[in-house]
Amino acid sequence: MSLLAKTTTGIGCTIVALPLLAAFTAAALLNSLIPGSSSGSVPATRGKNAFSDIPPGMLALYQRAAPQCPGLSWTILAAIGKAETDHGRHPTMKSSAGAVGPMQFLSSTFKIYAYPVPPGGKRPPTPWDPVDAVFAAARLLCAHGARGGKDLKRAIYAYNPSQAYVADVLRIARHYAAELSPVASGSASAVVAFARRQLGTPYVWGGDGPAEGGFDCSGLTKAAYAPIGITLPRVAQAQYDAGPRLPAGARLMPGDLLFFGTSPHAIAHVGIYTGNHRMLDAPHPGAVVRENAVRLTSPAYQGATRPSLLGAR
C-alpha cells in the first residue's frame, strides 16, 4: 500500500512513494548526552514523569531544539536541564566555577555555540536566556558526538567531564522516556473509538468530517481529539510540531499520532496508532478511512506524538 501525505499547501493528502508494510520494529531506546559545571548530586526524578516534572515552556523548548542535531533525543537535553538547574528552578543558576543560566554555561564555552541566534532568543545571545542556552547545549552535544548517535557518552562528557555525570544524565533521560505513558487511558481509548467509527468514510481533500463528505488525514486526527477537549492544529506538520513528541524507541500506545514524510520538517501524512502494530488513517483520494498494519522501519516514518498528555498540563 502507498503512504499518503499532506501537500505543502497544508490541506489534503498526496501519494509519497514509500510503502508501509505489516510489522513494527521499535528503535533502540536512548543513547544520549551534555556542557557543564554541575558537580553536585542530580535532583531526584522518582515518582515523576517528563510531563509532570518539566515546566511546559522548558519541555517545548527541549523538543524544539533537539532536531537541530539529528539523532539527539529531546530527553537528553531535558536530562541536562534537570541535572544542572532542575529546569531553571535553581534560585541563582550560578555555579562556583562561574557557569550561569539554566544549562550552566561558562561564558567562553557559550560564545562558541551561541550562533545562529534561534527564533525567540536574545540579541545578543546570553546563557541566562533559556532559548539561547538550550539551543547552544544542543549544538555543543552535536559537535562532540551526538549527531546520529555516533558517540553520545563522549558528547555528554564534553559537556561536563565526569563519568558520574554522564551516567546520571543517561539515567534521567531513560527515566523520562520510560515514563511516557498516557495520562488518561480512557481519553486515548476515546480517540481510537471515535476514529474507528469513521471507518469507511470517504477521503475528502481538506475534509473535517461527514458534514463535508469525509476526512483527509489531519482532518481525521483533529476530529478524533476534539471530543476529549484537545484541540490539534489543522495540518499534519503543525500537529507534529505541537507534540508532545516521543523519543525514538518509546513504547507506542493507542491514540498516539504517527507521522510520515521526507524529514521532520516535511511531514506528509499522519495516522492514529491503535495498538498491535496497526494504524487508522484517511489515506488518499478515492480511498476511505481504514485500519491497516503499519511498519515503522520505513525511512518515511518521522516519529510519534502523544497529544493525550496535553490534557494533563
CB atoms under 10 Å from CB of 111, counted, come to 14
Which has more pLDDT, 69 or 258? Answer: 258
pLDDT, tens digit, 9 for 90 and up, residues 11-49 = 555 433 333 332 222 222 222 222 344 434 445 554 455
Q: How far apart are CA 7 and CA 82, in angstroms?
A: 39
What pLDDT, on the 0 to 100 scale, is given for residue 231? Answer: 92
Instruction: Kindly indicate whether the domain formed by 2-26+182-312 is annotated with CATH number 3.40.50.1220.
Output: no
Quickly state the pLDDT bin for 311 (edges 50, 70, 90). low
Angle at 296 between CA 10 and CA 153, to 5 degrees: 105
- Predicted TM-score (pTM) of this structure: 0.56
What pLDDT, on the 0 to 100 scale, is given for residue 186? Answer: 67
Q: With residue 135 as reference, give the H or E element that holds it.
A: helix 130-141
What pLDDT, on the 0 to 100 scale, is given for residue 150? Answer: 87
Angle at 201 between CA 197 and CA 207, to 5 degrees: 110
What pLDDT, on the 0 to 100 scale, is given for residue 23? Answer: 28
E strands present in the chain: 2-6, 13-19, 208-209, 214-215, 257-261, 267-275, 278-281, 290-293, 301-305
Could you tell me the three cell numbers for 75? 530527553
Which has more pLDDT, 211 or 27? Answer: 211
Q: Which residues pair with 125 in a beta bridge?
A: none
Quickly state the pLDDT bin for 302 (edges 50, 70, 90). very high
Q: Where are the domains of the chain?
A: 2-26+182-312, 50-178
pLDDT at 223 over 90: yes
**In contact, 30 and 288? CB cutoff 8 Å:** no
Instruction: Kindly indicate whether the domain formed by 50-178 is annotated with CATH number 1.10.530.10.
Output: yes
| Total residues found in the chain within this entry | 313
The set of residues, in sequence order, having a beta carbon less than 8 Å from that of 290 and lying 6+ positions away, is 199, 280, 281, 283
**In contact, 133 and 105? CB cutoff 8 Å:** yes
